[in-house]
Chains A and B, each alone.
Chain A
Amino acid sequence: MFAQQLVNGLMLGGAYALVAIGYTLVFGVLNLLHLAHGEVFMVGAYVGLVLALAGFSPVVILAGAMLAAATLGVLVERVAFRPVRNRGSHVTPLITTIAVGLVLQHVVVKIFGAEPVAFPAPFASAPLDLGLVTLTTLQLIILGTSVVLMALLELFLRSTRTGMAIRATAENQTVAGLMGINVSLAIVVTFAIASALAGAAGVLLAWNFAGLSPFFGVKVGLKGLAIMLLGGLGNVAGAMVGGLIIGVVEVLSVAYLASSYRDAFAFAVMILILLVRPTGLFGARLSTG
């Protein structure tokens, strides 16, 4: 029973981590909060829904959602971040991204309605009995996809030139610029990657919950913020571990306490850790662990 809950939590946590990585990448590079990230995630999931209803294969659904979310993320950077980057305080992007989030939410309401809609399962999911725990193939796919995406991100940040440029920009924008790094490009790539991961997470969680609504992004977005804090702002590895922790805590609190407390625990854990270690579990720095 406990082992089963643990596995369920890890699966949920993997998808949460993908959202949190997006927040933390943007924060690491820009030192700003992206409050429309939850909506980018939600729009990605809806694009996945359209593809799923059109009968495309799960791979196409996932890729399509990631591509759409990445495009949207770059657009958000263009509209809500770049124009105020050097002119406002660090509060201004909070407001511009809230406004963008509001618009995205209600554009989706306009197209798909405000009610939750069912998300078709990608394939007939068979339970897999592993003795101690039972996994469905769908769960395996969700967990596997999150792990693969996180590994790819890690590899990208660690060993490609663009990844290095992103890390350098996070370290110090001015110096990175002086070293010949195209800072604006690094920022755009960061938004594209962060948003693509959110789009993937959108589809994975929509598969998991078998449905979604235009307000899906708010809840998950909040959780992503909590996870980013837990792992340390700008710390990618921290977001991965933090996501898994929050996923497990959430599933365990639903299993052993009241389900209505599920959201409180994420924040209670987060506030507790912050009071003891204000820089998060692993310190704040855009590092590759």
Chain B
Amino acid sequence: MLSDHTISILIFAGIDVIMALSFYLPASAGQLSAGQGGFMALGAYTAAYLTVQYGAPFPLALAAGGLVGGVVGLAVGFPALRLRGLYLVLVTFGFGEMVRVLFLNAPAFGGPAGFAGIPPATTIWHVLGLLVVLIYFFTRLSGSRMGRAFAALRDDEAAAEAMGVNSTYVKLAAFAAGGVIAGLGGALYAHYTLFIDPEAFGVGRSLFVMLYAVFGGLASFWGAVGGAAILSVLPELLRWVKDWREIFYGLLVLATMLVRPQGLLDATLLARLSLRGERAAARG
């Protein structure tokens, strides 16, 4: 079977994919969030606190992590109603930073020393299970009324509203759902690393989550899945360059984005792939 090392790589890659999907969901409605690390922190700390302090069963802690992420996502969605584009990026950036500083100053959660002694609970099956559920959810979403409302809002907000899309409702839903996913990701993360500290969920985390999804391409959720999978395994493949690893990584991402500014899976490629699928279906 797989070695422990491989499994740990797969679990972290899986969590990265979950986080990238949490960014993709609001992004598919045109709401760019640079604060997904903040939601992840909320989910991680909530779930860990429940299992450590109250001995809560893991599924319950997991659900609570997702719930807190969702509720706060809803709250963050409100300023999003007034802000657009890069303003929103910056405000969510600020949100992520504030969550980090709050946990840094919360003695109940260990403050800067971190929160330790979390019981091991996350297995590869939890991560894969959640991924399967999420992928099913996203496949169903894209053709649904809500999914089309997301796309309409992203493409042209005024036109979407004119066509009867309730932008307030849709934006809040997108943010809350993104928060739920990130909260779940955080809860899984905490019960695998067994130790969390505020720095693990800082700006770096939020930016990398955004990087994964955009690198993969925002035309479809498969872009986020692929981008996160590739970029979180890439450091392992770059072991041979030793301490040049980050430099190589950065250059590779830069070069890829210059060749494919819309990410690996852009609209053109997506159309071609789905066309091929349809042709195959027609033949078969």
Contacts and interface: CB of A to CB of B under 8 A. Distances in A.
B86 interface: yes
Contacts of B207: 35, 98
B261 A105 contact: no
A222 B93 contact: yes
A33 B89 contact: yes
Contacts of B278: none
Interface in B90-142: 90-91, 93-95, 97-98, 101-102, 104-105, 111-112
Given A222-B97, A258-B105, A96 B257 contact: yes
Interface string B236-252: 00000001101101110
Interface string A209-231: 00000000010001001101100
A101 B250 CA distance: 8
Contacts of A32: 86
Interface in A60-107: 79-80, 83-84, 87-92, 94-96, 98-103, 105-107
Interface stretch (B45-53, B180-188, B211-219, B269-277): B211-219
Contact of B102 (A89, A103, A105, A264): A264
Determine chain A's interface SS by DSSP, over half rule.
helix
A92 B87 CA distance: 16
| Residues of B contacting A: mostly | helix
A264 B101 contact: yes
Number of contact residues on A: which range applies? Answer: 35 or more
Contacts of B174: none
Contacts of A99: 211, 250-251, 253-254, 257
A263 B100 CA distance: 10
Given A79-B254, A100-B250, A261-B101, A95 B214 contact: yes
A244 interface: no
Contacts of A35: 207
B203 to A, nearest CB: 6
Given A229-B90, A270-B94, A87 B261 contact: yes
Contacts of A56: none
B95 A271 contact: yes
A109 B32 CA distance: 31
Given A91-B32, A94-B214, A100 B87 contact: no
A268 B254 contact: no
B267 to A, nearest CB: 11
Contacts of B214: 91-92, 94-95
B258 interface: yes
B239 to A, nearest CB: 15
Contacts of B102: 264
A278 interface: yes
Nearest to B79: A275
Contacts of B90: 33, 225-226, 228-229
A75 B127 CA distance: 42
B218 to A, nearest CB: 7
B56 interface: no
A229 B91 contact: yes
Contact of B98 (A102, A228, A267): A267
B82 interface: yes
B282 to A, nearest CB: 33
A91 B218 CA distance: 10
B4 to A, nearest CB: 28
Nearest to B251: A103
B83 interface: yes
Interface in B17-53: 32
B55 interface: no
Nearest to B93: A225
Contacts of A109: 246
B138 to A, nearest CB: 19
Given A222-B97, A258-B105, 4 more contacts: A80-B254, A100-B254, A102-B246, A264-B105
6 closest A-B pairs by beta carbon, nearest first, are A88-B261, A264-B101, A103-B250, A102-B250, A106-B246, A267-B94
Interface of A: 27, 31-33, 35, 79-80, 83-84, 87-92, 94-96, 98-103, 105-107, 109-110, 218, 222, 225-226, 228-229, 233, 258, 260-261, 263-264, 267-268, 270-271, 274-275, 278
